[in-house]
Structure formats: C-alpha cells, structure tokens
Structure 1
C-alpha cells in the first residue's frame, strides 16, 4: 500500500491548522469525549489529529461524496457509504454553530464511512468466513496509515487516496478493466439471446440463428478477434460472409468462446455452449464484481515467489523467484467433496507415498467395493491395519461392521497419490499430489477428486521447488529408490488455494468458468447486502 508516502503531508497540515482550532475548544473537547467511546481505530485517528475536526468544510464533504462514486469501478456499491446522508447530516449539524455535540457526532460518522470504504477496497467488504465456504486464510488487518488518511482529508485528496488503497496487482486491474468493458456493453443494450434449439448448430449449417450468433460474438469482440487471428482469408482479402451460413470464421470464434468458458472447443453450439452464450450481460457483470471481491480477500501482500492453485479454473501456477511462471493442469474436488480455499506454506515432499484412506472415502467408496469383492484389497495393494498399525487378516474382518480399522495403500505407480506428494499444513488435510489417472487432465472440466489437488507433471514442479529453495535433492533419484521418504524444503514456499469463476488472461480477456461449488450467489447476495451501522 502506498498511503505511507502521504504521511508527511498530514503532519504539515496538522501544524498549520493547530492554531485555528485553538478557537474551537468546545468541538475539540467533545470530539475527544466521543472518540474515547468509539472503536479503537477511530479514536487513534482523532488522537493523531489532537482531536481536531476533519469535516467542518462543506467542500471536503462534497469532494468525499463525489469520490465515493468512483468505488463503482471496483464493483462496490457507493450507496453503502451513505453519500446522501453525509451531505444532509453535515448541513443539519452546522445549522446551529453552537451545537458541538452534533458536530462531533457528524465528524465521527463521516470518518467512519471513509475508513470503512478504504478497508473494503483494500481487504474486501464481505467476511469470507461468514460464508462458510471452507475458508482457511488469515485475514490481514488494514494497513496502519492513519496519518496519511488524515493528511488526505485535510487536502481533500479523496480520489488520490482511493487510488493509493486500490489493489495494484495485475489480475485485479484486468478485472477492473473488464468490468468497465462489460458495463459499456450493457449500456449499448447487451447482446441478443439465441433461441432454444432441438438440434445443435454445427459448422457448415445454413440456419436462421447464425446472424444472431454472429451478433452475440461480435458484442464482446470475439468474432473480430478470430478473423484477425486466423489465416482464413489468404492475401488479406476479407469477403463478406453469407449471413446465414456457419462458416470457418464463425467456427473459430465459437471455439475461442468455448475455450474461455472451459467448454469442449469443438465449434458445435450444443446445449452447454448455448447456455453460456445466453447468460445475460448483467450476470457477467455480477460475476466480475464478486470475483474482484475474492481478489481483495486474498491477493495482497503477495510474496516474491508462491504457488497459486486456481480451483475453478483447474490450473496451477508457480511464480518462481526468477520471474518465470510454471503452469500446469490440475484435478480438484467434486462438488460434494470441495477443495477448500486456504493460504499456507509448502514444507516438504513425500516420495513413494503410502496412502492412508480417509474415513469418508473408506466409508463411501472403498468398503462397498470390499464387501462385493475381497480381492479388491489385493489388486489395489491395500493393507488392513489396527489403529496402532498392526497388520490384520482381511479374512477375519466382519466387513459388514469392520470397526475401527485403518486401510493403507502401499507405495507404487498405482497408488492413488502416485509417486509424489507436496505437503503444506492445513486443517482440511489436503495436499498436491501425483496420480495414476493421467487421462483426466485432458478434460476441460476437471472436478473429480475427493478434495486434494492432482497436478499434471508434478515431478517437474517438485524439482523446481527443491531447486528454487536450494534444498539439494533429486526427485527422480529419490523416486527410483522405491522407498517412502520425506524431503524437506530448506525454505518454506507459500501456497494459495483459491476459487475464481472469472479469470483475466494475459491478453486481458476474461474467462468465465462454471461455478462448480455454487458459491457465487451467496457471495453476490452478501456483497450487495446494504451495510448497517
């Protein structure tokens, strides 16, 4: 946060104004009395000013209320911070110049709105823990820059202050630009809705819906981009397409749209593609807004190097110390076994891991198979153990009521965790791991696991982590030993697991993902819920 650069200005303004407020001891004293009963941060703000009022000037209130409307570009609701009430209450407080109690009350009210708006822009309006979405991330307190805020108030630099607080990481700025773009589309009337169809629309078809499809893709620039990006028209001569023919340029545009929405990019406008095309622009705007809120929760104070798991996008990105980004496809938890959002640190790798089958998977998946066929245990190399680790004879177990047994799969290529696990402490007992089911990585939507994250090419990721933390181990050599070993990182590597249903690409274009865990509606409701004092 850059607010600290404004702090010297606060002290300069304070010195200049001190003598002026010596003439208003009543207001200063009343502010000191009321601030002492307010929340600590508000009291600190006024103690910093020697309880000098901040909002006597009509122009300051007008500038503040005007600046509040810029928060709309961040997906926040300016009315949450009561711009109309700020103006009306200021006028009422100063109708009687001697009413120092009302003036002090107003000062505290206005400062509270300012600090709240800044906090929401910097860290988010909604408490993620209140949504009960598997959140396990410590929420950082607001930066302690009250001197800078005080100076900005005295100078009426509210828009500059908001600009300093606004998250400055690139993904957030791209979402903000995308929000402005989609709001412009909304102002132009949005895009047309394609009618429901009995049969899919395929390349080569001649159909009355083709002009609507062109118009829909042109509304977001998709069709123009694809014509420019593909060598469909040799020599640069662009012939006007037949209005009702589903031609090559339109097919390319549909494929690009499908990729951005994590749909199978076959160029066929079937049920899922039609549903994605018909999501109204107002809904897309809401999706952008709520994902900006998710970004405010998490993407602040980022370290130089970290692993970022994009749950809804089925992607992992490792931001390396040298500035390079290593990316891979992942498989995440099914909707009924959701991968949680969390922030932790990778501590070690496990090569050739055993797999102690978790209680839920044991109860719901493994035991039903064992009851049908005891040979399942041998084929999957699963040992039956007592709670203390003593091997038990499977033939002597009452599988209808097995009691407190432990099922553990031996290490090897067919182990459910593959041959490498990347571990980090968390209450959900999730981790990154290898998998023998490599075929799942070719799917566009990959929510197939029981909560943990399967990573394509995880051995390469493991070696990069060891190299970048100077841990001095060779992953392949360790795996070749066949032994189960823990390999510690010399330095812990931060890891973030988070859930975005809108993602800005490197080209600035937005990708909209299916809300696989159905979290968007609850967050949107909370984001748009009016604030109460």
Structure 2
C-alpha cells in the first residue's frame, strides 16, 4: 500500500521535472538526437512506465508522440465506436461520448499537460481494447465454460498500422482489419443487421394460444397470423393482386385462412432450420420456436458472434469441424471440397466439450472399455437386474490388472475396481472404427450400431463422444488426403483390433454454435441443448470496468 502511494505521489513530481527540463518546442537537441521531446511527449513517457507492455509498444512505434490532440480525431473515433453494435458488442462499454467530453476538458482552458497525457493514454487504451475485442472476443471463454479447451490463437495487433489509422482517422478500416476474416463471421454480422431492422419495423406477431396443433389443410383464423409471421423472416412471400389495375380479370384470391401447400412448405423450411421435426404441423415445439421474440434472436446472434471471435483465427486449410449444437461434422478437405455428415453428440448431462486437437490415429474393430460414469449409471443397474446382459452385449469382466474374472463370482452390489470391456464386432458401442485425438475428456469420433438415431433432427443421445454417420467414407477420405495408403474396408474385414496412425495429423475442432449462417445467408437458430447461452449473454452484457 505504501509503495503504491509513493509511486502515485512521485508521478506529478517527475512530470514537473521533465517539463522544466524540456527545451522549448521546436528547439534542436544535441547533434544526432533530432528534435527534443515536447512537454506532452515527456509527460506521456513518464506515465507509460505504469502501463501495459502493449500500450508502451503502441507509443514506441509513434516515437512517444501523442495520438489524440486533434478534436476531429477523437470525434471520428467516437463515431466509429458506435458502429461496434454491428458486431454484437456494446458501444457504451467504450464510452465514446465520454471520450469527446474528456478531450474537451483536457485540452480546454482549464486543462494542463498532465491531464492531456492521461487522456491520450486512456483514449489509446480504449482503442487497443476495442481492437482486441473485435479480434478475439470481449470475454475469456475459460471464464464462461470451465471445460473449454480451444486455444485462442489470434495474431498480435499490428500497432504500426493502427497508429497510422489514428493519424489518418481511418478507424472503421482498422476495425475491419482485425475482425475474423472468415465468411461465417460476416454472415452473422449481416444476419444481425437484418434482425435489428426487423426489430425497428416492429418484429413479428406471436401466435394466438390454442389447445391443439395447427395442421395442413385446416381453415382457421390463426393461419393468417402464421402467414404473417413467416413472411416477416422471408420464409413465405406475400403475393398481393391489385384488382383495380386489372379490372377485366375476375380473380378469386386464395383464402388466407386456409393452411395450403405453399404455407406447409414454408413451415417445413422453418422447422428444418430450427432442427425441429419437419412435419409441417405447428405443434408445441414449433409454436415455441415461432414465438421467440426478435430481441431474443438478436441476443442469440450477438453471443454467437462472440463465439466466432473466439474460434475464427488461424484456421488451417484442411481441418475437421464438429458443430455440437448443429449436430453436424464438416471436413474441409485439402482440395477445397467439404464433406459433411450428421452426428450424435452428448446428452445435456454428459456434454460433448469444446476443444481443439489433432487426429493422430484410429482404432479398427475396437473394443470398448466402459467409462466409469457409464458403468456406474447405466451398465451396473442393467447387470444387477439381469446378469445375462453381459453375454448378450459380449462384455468381458476384468480385474484391475486386466485379468479376466468370472461374472458369477463378482459381488455386483459392491463390484470394486472391476473393468467391463465389450468385444469388437458389429454390435460394439463404437462400431467398426474409432477416430482418436488427444484430449483431457477422453472423447473421440466413432461409428455406431444405432444408425436409426441419425434420422432424428435433434441428436443429443451419446455419453459425450461423437457418433458419425457414414464414418467409413470419412475415414477413407482421411487416409487418402494424408497419404496414409490404407483401405478401411480391408482393415475391417481382417477382423483384427488394431491402431492405425495417419501419415499426417489432421486438426479437429469441437465447437458449440446456436446460430448457423448458411452460405445463402439464411439463419438457422438451434436449441441451446447445453444451456450455455444465458451465462454467455449475461457476461457479454456486463459493463466494462475502466
């Protein structure tokens, strides 16, 4: 406490000494030293000793020159900060109006050199903060998700370029240069602008409450509201016929109360985009998705823009992306093609984690050692009820050292440290192949005998690992693209359990998105299966402390 107080008292004294020692502005110093520092530069230099390395580096590239003496520069910066709402950030976090007022006060009649220096450092601190937030996110994902394992590999800021942007008052250009340079981010920004415009126009109507589902073919007043709701977001185009301009045509307008085929097709599109069963029936779940107000959809877009800032940096040309909430795997191949497949992910109480790793090898005809949680919660209750479960599922009982045990001699109420291992084969829980990558959660990609689950729209049924539809095709692509010279079907047909290494590692990212922006710009809003959105939104809206 005393040391900090001493430093606080020392800074004004140092400033006074530096200003007394500083030559008159424009006076040349000793030969070879160039123009001497101005009092403001000297004050900035003195104050920088207590600042971050990044702020010191920013002024170093400027030769300690002040950045914010011109009121027009501050005004332009404040205007640019207001545009950050287009990225889902909160402009008020950066207090643009206070910057303008602070400059006026520091450089007004009552201001002094120390105030001007402190203001200059504060404005630069705001600039660097805004740039970092745009580049890699306002929040640290580790504070939101304790299981987060994806490193944020954003490049360092180009301080020299940003210094030039300040001098030229090109702030929006500086912002554009640090945003993630990937198409999904721009699509989310476009979607946010579109939904903010919908909000300004009044949003959309809520559907009237009703006790039963609304089905195709019905005639009902609620159909009129449904038509309006879908037309607002572009699922259904409203077609109006102007009978005044074509009086010779006696056209009978369709009954807007009729739930016709065109409206049914629009409902099915909406359902598919929201990962609902696309049956065209407006039941409870479809109604709930339709009734989400526009401001909540805006918040959903904002927090997924933050997730994009965490992830979309330094992505390799070829990698595997597992979209957890979207139940989809995308393999971005070296030749530019994208292979996609449906996946099954962890149940809400056995969540698939977010992580970044590299696929190193795969296991053909794998055995499955049942993990402790599944053993305790799923398998042991089944064994206690019927010991024949072990034989039907081809499960071997092993002691702690791996020695086979007689199931009849185990006390299944208190089994101790037994291991249960399922033999390889078509009914093995991992199917015919498991794809491995190092991680602390012991999750991996794998085949499954339960192929019927892939037909469901929402597919959170696993115990944390990811089941992949068409996994053998995927594995063969990995072999081909890494020069591994293997045939997956031949390896399976051998019947042997073996680990096969890839000739080259393939990056893999598991990430959680609740909004997907398709290539055509259409937005798909997904259910928040792991209930992560609320905590993220709350943290994103928490004001910054300066």
TM-score by length of 2: 0.90
Shift of 1:500: 0.7
Question: 1:102-157 CA distances to partner (integer Å, 9 max, x unpaired)?
Answer: 11111111011001101111101111110125211112255241111111111111
CA 178–238 in structure 1, closer or farther in 2 if over 3 Å, else same: farther
Counterparts of 2:258 and 2:435, CA distance in 1: 51
Deviations 1:479-520 (A, max 9, x none): 111111111111111111111111011211000110000111
**2:107 corresponds to 1:119:** no
SS in 2 for 1:493: strand
Aligned to 2:405: 392
Counterpart secondary structure, 2:237: helix
Contact 1:226/1:252 (<8 A) preserved: no
Residue number in structure 1 paired with 2:48: 35
Q: Is the partner of 1:412 in helix, strand or coil?
A: coil
> What is the distance in 1 between the residues matched to 2:475 and 2:252?
51
Counting only pairs closer than 5 Å after superposition, residues 262-281 of structure 1 correspond to structure 2 as 262-281=275-294
How many equivalent residue pairs?
A: 508
Find the counterpart in structure 2 of residue 304 from structure 1: 317
Match of 1:435 among 448, 455, 458: 448
Q: In the alignment, what sits opposite 1:11? A: none
Q: Identify the residue that residue 431 of structure 2 maps to in structure 1.
A: 418
The counterpart of 2:346, out of the listed 333, 338, 346, is: 333
Which residue does the alignment assign to 1:247?
A: 260
**Corresponding position of 1:321:** 334
Q: Which residue matches 1:89?
A: 102
Deviations 1:163-197 (A, max 9, x none): 11122211111111111111111111110010121
Per-residue deviation, 1:85: 1.4
How far does residue 96 in structure 1 lie from its aligned partner after superposition? 4.7
In 1: Cα distance, 2:51 partner to 2:103 partner: 19
The alpha-carbon distance between structure 1 residues 136 and 19, as it changes in their structure 2 partners (threshold 3 A), is farther
1:520 alignment partner in structure 2: 533
Q: Residue 179 of structure 1 is aligned with which of 181, 192, 195?
A: 192
Distance 2:239 2:285 in 1: 21
Matches within 5 A, 1:506-517: 506-517=519-530
Alignment of 1:232-243 (within 5 A): 240-243=253-256
Equivalent pair of 2:196/2:298 in contact (CA under 8 Å): yes
In 1, the alpha carbon distance for the partners of 2:527 and 2:252 equals: 36
> Is the 8 Å Cα contact of residues 26 and 35 (structure 2) preserved in structure 1?
yes
- Residue range with higher mean Cα deviation, 53-62 or 164-173: 164-173
Distance change (3 Å), C-alpha of 1:265 and 1:19? farther
CA contact (8 A) 2:154 2:313 kept: no
Measured after TM superposition, the shift of residue 25 of structure 1 is: 2.4
Give unmatched runs, 5+ long, in structure 1. 1-16, 228-236
Residue 283 of structure 1 pairs with residue 299 of structure 2: no
Matches for 1:180-259 after TM superposition, within 5 Å: 180-224=193-237, 240-259=253-272
Helix, strand or coil: the match of 1:135? coil
Report deviation, 1:23.
Answer: 6.6
Structure 1: which 4+ aligned runs deviate by more than 4 Å? 17-24
2:64 matches 1:73: no
For 1:44 and 1:262, locate their aligned partners in 2 and report how far apart those are by CA, in whole Å.
48
1:347 aligns with 2:360: yes
State the Cα distance separating 1:95 from its structure 2 match.
Answer: 2.2
Counterpart-to-counterpart distance in 1, 2:472 and 2:171 = 50
Q: Work out the CA distance in 2 between the residues paired with 1:468 and 1:95.
A: 65
Aligned residue number for residue 74 of structure 2 = 61
Superposed, 1:111-150 pairs within 5 Å as 111-132=124-145, 134-150=147-163
User: Within the alignment, does 1:373 sit opposite 2:401 as a pair?
Assistant: no
Name the CA distance, whole Å, in 1 between partners of 2:383 and 2:44.
Answer: 73
Are 2:153 and 1:153 equivalent residues in the alignment? no
What's 2:10 paired with? Answer: none
Q: Residue 170 of structure 1 is aligned with which of 183, 186, 208? A: 183
Summarize the Cα distance change of 1:226–1:164 in structure 2 as closer, same or farther, 3 Å threshold: farther
1:477 equivalent to 2:478? Answer no
CA RMSD of aligned residues (A): 1.9
Alpha-carbon distance in 1 for matches of 2:315, 2:252: 49
Task: Structure 2 unaligned segments of length 5 or more: list them.
Answer: 1-24, 29-33, 241-249
TM-score by length of 1: 0.92
Bigger Cα displacement from structure 2, 461-470 vs 87-96: 87-96
